[in-house]
Structure 1
Amino acid sequence: MSTIAAWPARAETWLDRQGKPAWIIAMVLGFIVFWPIGLALLGYMIWSNRMSCSRTSTRLTRHAPSGNSAFDAYKADTLRRLEEEQEQFDSFLQRLRDARDKAEFDQFMAERRETNA
């Protein structure tokens, strides 16, 4: 493959390593330079599911089985455990947000009672 034909794949790999903010910056710069470039990047980002809000890593799940059943079982167990820990952590964060919201609401109601009394 020639160098000219390989640069899109290298650019995609580099942007993937940098993360979602790099893709967004590239898209914005594409719109600034020449709007069809930005539009094409936006379409590609949506089509390739790079704009999804999913927390599960597609990089870990899209790899094919290794051929070693013991390793594949270990990998599946580790990924399952990590997903459970992520769910527990998300639940913990939601409880913290709920407690903070309740405390703020209680403070609002107490201040409102004081001004009405």
Structure 2
Amino acid sequence: MNQSALLRPDWTPATVALMVLGFVVFWPLGLAMLAYIMFGEKFQNFKREANRKADDAYAWCRSNRYAGPVNSTGNVAFDDWRKAELDRLDEERRRLDEMRADFDTYVRELRRAKDQDEFDRFMRDRQQVKPSSDTTPPAGYSGN
């Protein structure tokens, strides 16, 4: 823990001042600050431990994505059908992901071609209108 922190769970001038101010403003705030001063280090260890356990549980759930509490129902025919369906769905998802990637590539190339066409048109129009050496304003210029 960073011992240079202004608000650490210890009897520092800042924490004592906040505790007194909390009691003056609204007594539960002062009581909460007193609890933080006295038990704050234990709360941080509790939070760290709870986060670690939650991360472990989440990792376990991710690793057992398709497997429930029991991998087999006891019925071999159903288990074979279930595995075949899950494999088919995985293949379908993979195929759909490939199709989406192909479509994204197609749209990106379509946009690029449209941008290139607009840029080429701009360059043609710009080359056709050559700036003249006199100071006549371009057509449609109001001068305001």
Residues 98 and 77 (structure 1 numbering): CA distance in 2 closer, same or farther, change over 3 Å?
Answer: same
Look up the match of 2:117: 110
Look up the match of 2:72: 65
- Bigger Rg, which one: 2
Identity between Structure 1 and Structure 2 (%):
18
CA deviations on 1:50-82 (whole Å, 9 max, x unpaired) are: 8x7xxxx81x23441112211110111110111
Matches within 5 A, 1:1-117: 37=47, 40-41=50-51, 43-44=52-53, 46-47=55-56, 48-49=58-59, 58=65, 60-62=66-68, 63-117=70-124
Amino acid of the structure 1 residue aligned with 2:67: T
Amino acid of the structure 2 residue aligned with 1:61: A
Compute the displacement of 1:46 (Å). Answer: 4.4
Residues 44 and 115 (structure 1 numbering): CA distance in 2 closer, same or farther, change over 3 Å?
Answer: farther
SS in 2 for 1:61: coil
TM-score, with length taken from structure 1: 0.52
Amino acid of the structure 1 residue aligned with 2:93: Q
Q: Considering only aligned residues, what root-mean-square deviation do their CA atoms show, in Å? A: 3.2
SS in 2 for 1:67: coil
Amino acid of the structure 2 residue aligned with 1:93: R
CA distance in 2, matches of 1:82, 1:61: 15
CA distance in 2, matches of 1:75, 1:66: 10
TM-score, with length taken from structure 2: 0.43
Residues 104 and 46 (structure 1 numbering): CA distance in 2 closer, same or farther, change over 3 Å?
Answer: farther
CA distance in 1, matches of 2:82, 2:108: 39
Structure with greater proportional helix content: 1
CA distance in 1, matches of 2:76, 2:83: 10
Q: How many residues align?
A: 79
Q: Which runs of 4+ in 1 moved over 3 A?
A: 34-41, 43-47
